[in-house]
Structure 1
Amino acid sequence: MAEEGLKQAEPRPSRAPVQKRGQQRVEAILDAAEAVFGDMGVDAATTNAIAERAGASVGSLYHFFPNKDAILQALAERFAATMTTMLARELRLDEPWVPLPVLFREMIESFAQMDEAHPGYLAVCRATDSASGGKSAVSLQMEEHMQELVRTLLARRMPGIPEAEAARHAALSVVVVHAVLDHVMSVEEPLRSGIRSALVDMLVRHFTPLEAQFPRATSP
């Protein structure tokens, strides 16, 4: 009996490899959806086209996503997480002495690289916002996270700035940057690069007086 009890107590094999394979399939489907949405737009895209691009059967796709809208939602969430993580890195919160022109130029360049590397991003954002009749929950949450990061940046660069003022400038900058970068994706070069450069100049001109008005963080 004791032997039986010991056998029953043996742990089951880990499901981690199975879960990892499942996550890899999900990512492959999302990668395929991003490409399809970028090529033909969200409205024209079908689950058949996404499955074919992913090298999977439609049945396999439906195992993870019940319909195209669910894929769209998951892709929007992945984009939002990527954008927020990238902004957190580019704001260099642990280096508040970095000159504003350098900070904003690197940030806008990173956003531009993200947009160009992921042509389906704009289509996904517009589709999720349109379905919500305004800003989608994902877009609103992403903007709030970004505003929080900018508020943190201002608090570290300008310790004397009032919270309400930091919040106002953070909200304004995030909304403006988001709107301009979305717009330039439909503009041809060299105008596209010119607008991005002007956006950097605008941010520098906006925040430079604030650094003069409030005590700045000490340089290393």
Structure 2
Amino acid sequence: MSTAKPPSTAARTPQRSNGVKRREAILDAAAAIISETGIAGLTLHATAKRAGASIGSMYHFFRDKDQLLDALRERHRQAIADIIGSLAAVTPDQWIAMSAGDAIDCLFGKPIRFYADHPFALDLHQLHEERAADAFLALVESVMTLRLGDRRGPDVARMLYAISTGTLAFALDHHDTARRALVPGIPVALTAYLLTQEATPA
């Protein structure tokens, strides 16, 4: 006889404002637990206690830990997607006219700050596995192509992406002192690299 666990259905989405607030409080509590203890320390009971919710309220929204983690992942995906979407308002002429520092801050500033403020997000998924990663890299490639041309732009974009994601992952994997020292330096390093590339004849 099979003992396989039945597939988890989607978490319940609240329709009323009070339900939305309770669900968000539960997700905030889960994120705080992951930030402090890692995914291994996350349980429905611990999350309910942290959120000041009853276990019945927990099960109303999330049947199991997997559903809770999926909801957190989707929350982070949407946050990054919103950041990328906000950059669509920048016109090609504006990207070209920006200084190297302004272009880097516009492209990378908000995503870097998001992961710096939500380090537990990297415990839920790796940056290169994030569904929004392809869209973000495509955006960086399009901007660098505008600034440097078809031949050099994509390669420079991929290097900028590799520097930013690699350094960010390293910084967030270490204690707060390293994080505070490394994260602010990422845009500085990216700007220095872009300035060097833009000063190099095509």
Assess same fold via TM > 0.5: yes
Q: Alpha-carbon deviation of 1:148? A: 1.9
**Hey, what does 2:161 align to over in structure 1?**
174
Are the structure 2 counterparts of residues 143 and 56 from structure 1 closer, same or farther at C-alpha, using a change threshold of 3 Å? same
Report 1 or 2 for greater relative contact order, CA contacts < 8 Å, sequence distance ≥ 6.
Answer: 1
Q: Bigger shift: 79-88 or 34-43?
A: 79-88
Whole-Å separation in 1 of the counterparts to 2:87 and 2:180: 19
Whether 1:151 aligns to 2:138 is no
Q: Bigger shift: 166-175 or 43-52?
A: 166-175
**Hey, what does 1:59 align to over in structure 2?**
56
Equivalenced residues, count: 185
Q: Percent identity of the aligned residues?
A: 25
- Contact 1:91/1:107 (<8 A) preserved: no
- Contact 1:47/1:67 (<8 A) preserved: yes
Q: Alpha-carbon deviation of 1:38? A: 1.2
Q: Alpha-carbon deviation of 1:91? A: 9.1
Whole-Å separation in 2 of the counterparts to 1:107 and 1:173: 10
Whole-Å separation in 1 of the counterparts to 2:124 and 2:55: 21
Q: Which amino acid aligns with 1:114?
A: F
Q: Alpha-carbon deviation of 1:52? A: 1.9
For structure 1, the residue ranges without an aligned partner over 5 or more in a row are: 1-16, 130-134, 216-220
The partner residue of 2:74 within 77, 82, 87 is: 77
Q: Alpha-carbon deviation of 1:119? A: 4.2
- Contact 2:31/2:72 (<8 A) preserved: yes
Alpha-carbon RMSD across the aligned residues, in angstroms, is: 3.4
- Contact 2:31/2:120 (<8 A) preserved: yes
TM-score (normalizing by structure 1): 0.66
Whole-Å separation in 1 of the counterparts to 2:117 and 2:190: 24
For structure 2, the residue ranges without an aligned partner over 5 or more in a row are: 1-13
Higher alpha-carbon Rg: 1
Q: Describe the SS at the equivalent of 2:53.
A: coil
